[in-house]
Amino acid sequence: MSIELSELRLHAREMGTLVAQQVETAVRALLEADGEAAELVLRREQRVNAWQTDIEAESFSLLARQAPVASDLRTVLAISRAVTDLERAGDEAKKIARFALASAGHGVGGPTRVIRRSLRHMAALASESMRVAVDALDRGDAKVAQEVARLDREIDHEFESALRQLMTVAMERAPRLLKPVFDTVFALKGLERIGDHAKNVAEHVVFLVSGDDVRHAGKSRAVPARELQH
């Protein structure tokens, strides 16, 4: 395996570790009404984005200059794809941090308090599955996929349970309309995400035509990840 490919794997792993940290810190910020922790997540989000830009440039250059085949090719493609997911997971952590920051002034709020055990558990599971997955990506170990799938089922289970607890609490105030209200929120959420994805598709077209990476444009993409680390 070439030095460049080893480096690429290492970088994907570092990015994944950073994202796992982001998830943990964001949820801690929420649970402890810690505004500083929330701001830390928001600052580090720039590093996550910078990693994505860097790793994708590395992948592309590797494909173009070394024309890898077989398992090396699959590794590069898998890393490019994983980086997209890592960045999106980072985005979700950022949103949690924003929520934490917005509510930090008022102490730990009602609904959040009710499901704090679930939140803590979900954050631990999510960051663990992230670590396991990027570790597997680095080592090229497909066996742990089952382990990650198991963790994911556990997260889903906890999510359902947290949702039930929330509904029970809110139901005491708002009666039978509650379930539809929640469902509508998720529908809205789904639609909102679709807008994001459509934007991504359009950005891929820009990349395809010009080679310009326009994601994170106007934010902090000019700062390389390695500089931001120090």
Partner 1 sequence: MESADLSQHTSRRFNEDMERVTTRVLQMGGFVEQQLNRAVAALVDGDSALGEEVARDDYKVNRMEVEIDEECSRIIATRQPTASDLRVMVAIIKTITDLERIGDEVEKVGNIAARLATMEKPADNYREIRHLGRLVTEMVHDALHAFARFNSVGAFVVARRDGKVDEEYEAV
Q: What's CA 186's distance to the chain center, in Å? A: 19
Interface with partner 1: number of residues (CB under 8 A)? 36
Q: What are the phi and psi torsion angles at 217 (to 5°)?
A: -60, 140
Residues 61-100 that bind partner 1 (CB under 8 A): 63-64, 67, 69-70, 73-74, 77, 80-81, 84
Interatomic CA distance for residues 76 and 63, integer angstroms = 8
Contact 121, 112 (CB under 8 A): no
Using CB under 8 A, pick the residue from 17, 35, 60, 112 that binds partner 1. Answer: 60
- Residue 218 is a binding residue for partner 1 (CB under 8 A): no
What mask, x for binding partner 1 by CB under 8 A, covers residues 6 to 25? --------------------
Q: How far apart are CA 168 and CA 41, in angstroms?
A: 31
Residue 98 CA to residue 119 CA, distance in Å, equals 16
Sketch the per residue contact string, 147 through 186, with partner 1: x for CB under 8 A, - otherwise. Answer: ---------------------------------x--xx-x
| Residue 191 interacts with partner 1 (CB under 8 A): yes or no | yes
Half-sphere exposure of 124 (CA within 13 A, CB side): 8
| Distance (Å, whole) CA 131 – CA 16 | 7
Kindly list the residues in this chain that would bind partner 1 in the complex (CB under 8 A): 60, 63-64, 67, 69-70, 73-74, 77, 80-81, 84, 180, 183-184, 186-188, 190-195, 197-202, 204-205, 207-209, 211
